[in-house]
């Protein structure tokens, strides 16, 4: 695969592609009547499949069980999975076209933490690429929704919490990779996701009918598996690459989502999406050196 930096980019591209495809298809189960909160339950269960694969192909793998590793693993897992559940709550009242752009800026926090605590550095070309990636992430995360802004601004605080949680998650994931095996990190991520299943079930509105046909839990399982594998390759990407490059790059997964959505729904992109796609293409070129 080449140098460690190149390995990091390869794994980052896999994450970007898998998450992009996941983003394009994940709304189908919810539109069919399968709640996003139950989709979370399905996703957490699909995390088990990569863990089994890791155990099979890494027969000598022994997860670190010391307190430091357990705490780091759970912080990574709970900030990621917990942020997902808080996002669902934010979207109950908040306008998605504001919520998603706010959250999509979480790489800014990861970059700041990595610069301060990990002393990461990169060249001018990569810095320009990082800037373009952040700009593109905001533009591409602006969904075509017209929900009004409510007088209750709890959703804004919840969005800010998700922003912090996901920014911290990526930083801690990189930090933990210095002393822990990537496989162990993903194992604790899986355990954390499973721990929050009761919360997701509690958040589900069972007063409405739950669709259980193929486009519900079964399609959700297939699509969420892409997300789970992407999460695993992200851990590997951060093992080899710099967080200030990897995180903004994987944040461009909406490029794939937008392209597939345009093909699926035959929608002509507006000025915002077009600008986002162009800037994202520039970012990918600059960060792929």
User: Would you tell me how many other CB atoms lie within 10 Å of the CB of residue 268?
Assistant: 7
Instruction: Please tell me the pTM assigned to this model.
Output: 0.90
Domain ranges of the chain: 4-287
Please, how many CA atoms are within 13 Å of residue 231, restricted to the half-sphere of its CB? 29
Whole-number Cα distances in Å, 126 to 121, 137, 279, 283: 10, 16, 14, 9
For the chain, the farthest-separated pair of C-alpha atoms sits apart, in whole angstroms, at: 56
From first to last of its 289 residues, what are the pLDDT tens digits of the chain? 578 889 999 999 999 999 999 988 988 999 999 999 999 999 999 999 999 999 888 878 889 999 999 999 999 999 999 999 999 999 887 877 778 888 888 999 999 999 999 999 888 888 999 999 999 988 887 655 444 445 567 888 999 999 999 999 999 999 999 899 999 999 999 999 999 999 999 999 999 999 999 999 999 999 999 999 999 999 999 999 999 999 999 989 988 888 888 787 776 677 888 888 899 989 988 887 5
How far, in Å, CA of 86 to CA of 173, rounded? 20
């Amino acid at each position: 695969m080449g140098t460690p930096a190149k390995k990091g980019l390869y794994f980052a591209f896999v994450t970007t592609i898998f998450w992009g495809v996941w983003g394009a298809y994940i709304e189908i189960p919810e539109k069919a009547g399968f709640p996003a909160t139950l989709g979370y339950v399905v996703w957490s269960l699909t995390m088990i499949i990569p863990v089994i694969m890791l155990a099979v192909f890494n027969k000598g793998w022994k997860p670190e069980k010391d307190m430091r590793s357990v705490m780091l693993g759970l912080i990574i897992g709970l900030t990621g999975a917990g942020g997902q559940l808080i996002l669902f709550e934010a979207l109950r009242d908040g306008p998605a076209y504001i919520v998603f752009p706010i959250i999509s800026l979480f790489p800014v926090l990861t970059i700041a933490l990595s610069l301060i605590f990990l002393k990461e550095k990169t060249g001018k070309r990569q810095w320009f690429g990082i800037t373009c990636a952040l700009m593109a992430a905001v533009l591409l995360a602006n969904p075509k929704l017209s929900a009004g802004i409510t007088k209750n601004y709890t959703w804004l605080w919840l969005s800010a919490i998700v922003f912090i949680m996901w920014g911290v998650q990526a930083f801690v994931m990189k930090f933990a990779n210095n002393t822990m095996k990537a496989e162990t990190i993903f194992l604790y991520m899986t355990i954390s996701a499973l721990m929050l299943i009761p919360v997701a079930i509690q958040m589900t509105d069972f007063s409405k009918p739950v669709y259980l046909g193929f486009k519900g839990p079964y399609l959700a399982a297939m699509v969420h598996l892409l997300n789970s594998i992407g999460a695993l390759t992200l851990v590997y990407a951060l093992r080899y690459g710099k967080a200030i490059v990897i995180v903004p790059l994987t944040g461009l997964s909406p490029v794939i989502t937008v392209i597939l959505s345009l093909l699926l729904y035959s929608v002509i992109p507006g000025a915002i999406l077009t600008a986002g796609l162009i800037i994202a293409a520039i970012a990918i070129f600059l960060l792929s050196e």
